[in-house]
Amino acid sequence: MSVADWIAVDWGTTHVRAWAMGPGNSVLAADSSTKGMGTLKPEEFEPALVELAASWLPKDRTIDVLACGMVGARQGWVEAEYLPVPTPPLVPARFRQADAANVHLAVSIIPGLKQSAPPDVMRGEETQIAGFLSQTEGFEGVLVMPGTHTKWVRVAEGRVLGFNSFMSGELFALFEQHSVLRHSLAADDLSSDVFQETVGAVLADPGLAVSGLFRLRAEDLLEGQDASVSRAKLSAYLIGSEIAAARSFWQDERCALIGSPALTDLYSRALETCGCAHETHSADTLTLQGLCAAKALLEEDKR
């Protein structure tokens, strides 16, 4: 295993992924573990990182580690205080240095963004946004970033202007794991046709997403409705009412969808239903590109 030039880290609540980076932002190696922020005390972050990256570390010089995500939360390695919007997504002067016992590790944690009116926060997505902007110069429009807490983000002139987070992803998980609907949702997939049709119905009448929820239970009890249909409807209720509530973001705007393949597929179908043209990007790819952008800014800053 060759020694890295620098190390990129995406450190979320439940997982951590690290890349050994070589010349020209080439990836020499990659690894991941389930030692997410949620499982670690502050003093446990450095050992968790070294466990992943031991073979990539040089013995005789300092190596930069650029990390984004919940690692910078108050309960993380060290708190990287939110940058207020409007702001460029990455401001190297505000990267937070984390103490490490190994003097050769120079760890920089990328801060999240905050908005004061109305209050909102993000942590991790700012790096994807920077990755996106590094690939799509001059973009002006809205980024739709589905996840546990989906973000709708206004961007112009290389800056984040404002954003709104939605809980649809977490809500789906709550219904699936803890609600009276959980038995009715036990399927691996969902019916795409039912999803798209129901999104259309919700956009025409957002109240359906509220009045139709318990119906999923009754449809199962009385008609033995297939779980893949129930999943499609619940997903459409949540995503459809999110898109209806976010109308001021997407209407007459250029939109780009950033996320995992499964989620961007759903959101893409839903955005099509309301006639919102959009491009789609992989969040994983953009995260690494954002960490590369962060590293480049750090270098500029050092000069």
Between 35 and 151, CB nearer to a second copy: 151
Counting contacts by CB under 8 A, is residue 170 touching a second copy? yes
Residue of 149, 159, 254, 269 that binds a second copy (CB under 8 A): 149
Pairwise CA distance, residues 134 & 124, whole Å: 16
Counting contacts by CB under 8 A, is residue 138 touching a second copy? no
Between 97 and 214, CB nearer to a second copy: 214
Residue with tokens 């939605």: 166
Counting contacts by CB under 8 A, is residue 224 touching a second copy? no
Between 138 and 224, CB nearer to a second copy: 224
Residues 36 and 14: beta-carbon distance below 8 Å: yes
Counting contacts by CB under 8 A, is residue 221 touching a second copy? yes
Counting contacts by CB under 8 A, is residue 116 touching a second copy? yes
Q: Look at residues 271, 278, 277 and name the one whose alpha carbon lies nearest to residue 200.
A: 271
Counting contacts by CB under 8 A, is residue 247 touching a second copy? yes
- For residues 76-115, which are near a second copy according to CB under 8 A? 82, 114-115
DSSP H helix total and E strand total for the chain: 10, 14
Residues 173 and 243: beta-carbon distance below 8 Å: no
**Cα 204 from chain centroid?**
29
Counting contacts by CB under 8 A, is residue 251 touching a second copy? no
| Distance (Å) of CA 162 to CA 101, 120, 165, 256 | 38, 9, 10, 15
| DSSP SS3 for 296 | helix
Structure tokens at 205: 């009448």
Specify the stretch interacting with a second copy by CB under 8 A; choose among 1-9, 61-69, 136-144, 237-245. 237-245
Which stretches of the chain bind a second copy, using CB under 8 A? 82, 114-116, 118-121, 149, 164-167, 170, 174-175, 177-180, 206-208, 210-215, 217-219, 221-223, 241-242, 244-247
